[in-house]
Homo-oligomer: A and B are copies of this chain.
């Protein structure tokens, strides 16, 4: 039995709880490769036990080695290895890749893995190397798919307890990777490893790895963990997690140690290069007990063991750093730092631009931490793309296009001395394209840090400006657009078109348009609502109806509008089904009305365009409003997950007795 649920997220990365046969693993994580023969294991299993909740070992080696096989059959793989938590095994497909042949039948090894009590076994897939002839890759893939099907049938027929890894293959052919993912998805494996990337990693072909990951992820079920098989170098983890990889394994910690190589989150150092340093560039228990000179002078065996320990510490350290970044909403920032440690990593990161429409669907609409610009690459991040798209949600009638000095602090409207108007003012922005004056407090328009830009960087959005203006002209007519130079200078232009104009109310109206894509506060309501400002900051904090009931709270960190029950009802009236809705079945109805959270298994439909962390309405199949809350899952995941939290409910709505 396996369950998987998402606890926190950023980019396509997620902190998940993976429950395997009652044993919990927090993902993303790394499984150290442990040799099934304790005598051949370089790092003590005690340290592995301390650091890891899951390990991987090789069932084929156990199968082929008489004394290991006997112990494993007799006492189980956990006793053999000395590890009580989750044990994953490979199937011999690694040996198949290296030697071209293995001495076991595909179903036999699956059966063997079950027999020795493995938690997660692996089918005997064919690991096709990069750049082979396409026919070979296709033939291999057919065989892998055939074995996959047989293995799943075997497991079902015999009622196997073990979970199964269904590995994605297809060499460097992205269409084959997509096909592999699509077909394997149908077979309902428990975990999806992405296979045969080791040769690419070894040649620094990170760009190929990134394209393989994305093309696989796009067709894999979102509710299953993805394991980037054979990737054990911490420098690649942040990028892989940001693309939705949940699991890694590391033989690297031991293999590198054998060659006196010292892992860091930025790359690899050879002990020879650092042996003259006074101290190690690390504070792990190994590095704070030995000087490089001392370590280098130890005998081969001791040195290898200590280096492997260090390698393991920094490997887990990077996993922890990534988890922290996910919780803070700064995973892209971490990725953009890590990608500077090797130009091939930077090249791989730059490729994401081509897939950003897909990636954006998984990126939360709001984050705890600000958007940090780390270089021109940041221009193409999902937060920027989403804003540019959502700019079109605002209902424009008359627009001024303007620029302001880059020295004006955010939010702009608090630092510009202008006569306010009910005309939409679009302030040109070198990164975000345009910042509409009336939504300038909303994430990420105020929650960002951007350095002074180079001149050529300021030109990058020129095409976007032009295209947007063309769209706007078509929408509201050329006569309703005035392109003016700088804001302060032309204040005389800013005259309201309507009487009784209230800039606070207009601000709320525009913010809601931007957040939901609908005109929640229409021409009628705009004169009835009232705003409440914070006594401390003077900033907008609440929106009230004409009877002074709260409709929305303006959340201080991101200025999203958080509905009250009345606000939710208003949203429900104004937003057409199924937009901004999560639909649950009858069974859940009463729970939601009582204010309990929506779990994924109750979701029957939803707005497919929902992103994580959006404010949504929970309705039944008749579109009756049951509650309102915040999505944990996006529109794709809401349909695919059947376990774990889907919407964190803020409030339930009691049934009105007729």
Interface set of A (CB-CB < 8 Å, partner B): 26, 266, 269, 273-274, 276-285, 288, 313-314, 316-318, 320-321, 323-324, 327-328, 333, 336-337, 340-344, 346-347, 350, 372-377, 449-452, 454, 456-457, 459-460
Chain B residues with CB under 8 Å of A320's CB are 277-282
Given A283-B314, A337-B341, A346-B373, 14 additional A-B pairs, CB 8 A: A26-B278, A266-B337, A269-B324, A274-B324, A277-B327, A281-B318, A282-B283, A282-B320, A283-B316, A284-B288, A285-B285, A333-B341, A343-B450, A350-B454
- Give the oligomeric copy count: 2
CB–CB B340/A374 < 8 A: yes
Known: A274-B324, A288-B285. A374 touches B346 (CB 8 A): yes
CA distance A276 to B8 in the complex (A): 12
Chain B residues with CB under 8 Å of A377's CB are 375
Known: A279-B316, A283-B282. A343 touches B454 (CB 8 A): no
Residue of B nearest to A325 (CB): B281
CB–CB A460/B451 < 8 A: no
Known: A273-B327, A451-B344, A459-B456. A281 touches B376 (CB 8 A): no
Residue of B nearest to A368 (CB): B273
Chain B residues with CB under 8 Å of A327's CB are 273, 276-277
Chain B residues with CB under 8 Å of A375's CB are 340, 346, 374-377
Chain B residues with CB under 8 Å of A288's CB are 284-285, 313
Residue of B nearest to A312 (CB): B283
Minimum distance in angstroms from A645 CB to a CB of chain B: 16
Chain B residues with CB under 8 Å of A321's CB are 281
Residue of B nearest to A328 (CB): B273
CB–CB A343/B372 < 8 A: yes
Sample (6) of A-B pairs whose CB atoms are under 8 Å apart = A277-B323, A281-B320, A282-B283, A283-B313, A283-B317, A340-B340
CA distance A161 to B503 in the complex (A): 71
CA distance A277 to B282 in the complex (A): 21
Closest 4 CB pairs of A and B: A347-B451, A283-B284, A281-B321, A375-B375
CB–CB A342/B376 < 8 A: no
CA distance A228 to B94 in the complex (A): 53
Residue of B nearest to A320 (CB): B281
CA distance A279 to B313 in the complex (A): 12
CB–CB A449/B278 < 8 A: no
Chain B residues with CB under 8 Å of A318's CB are 281
Minimum distance in angstroms from A87 CB to a CB of chain B: 20
CB–CB B273/A342 < 8 A: no
CA distance A347 to B274 in the complex (A): 31
Chain B residues with CB under 8 Å of A450's CB are 343
CA distance A284 to B314 in the complex (A): 10
Residue of B nearest to A273 (CB): B328
Minimum distance in angstroms from A99 CB to a CB of chain B: 30
CB–CB B284/A350 < 8 A: no
CB–CB B281/A344 < 8 A: no
Chain B residues with CB under 8 Å of A341's CB are 333, 337
Partner of A347, one of B328, B340, B452, B457: B452
CB–CB A350/B281 < 8 A: no
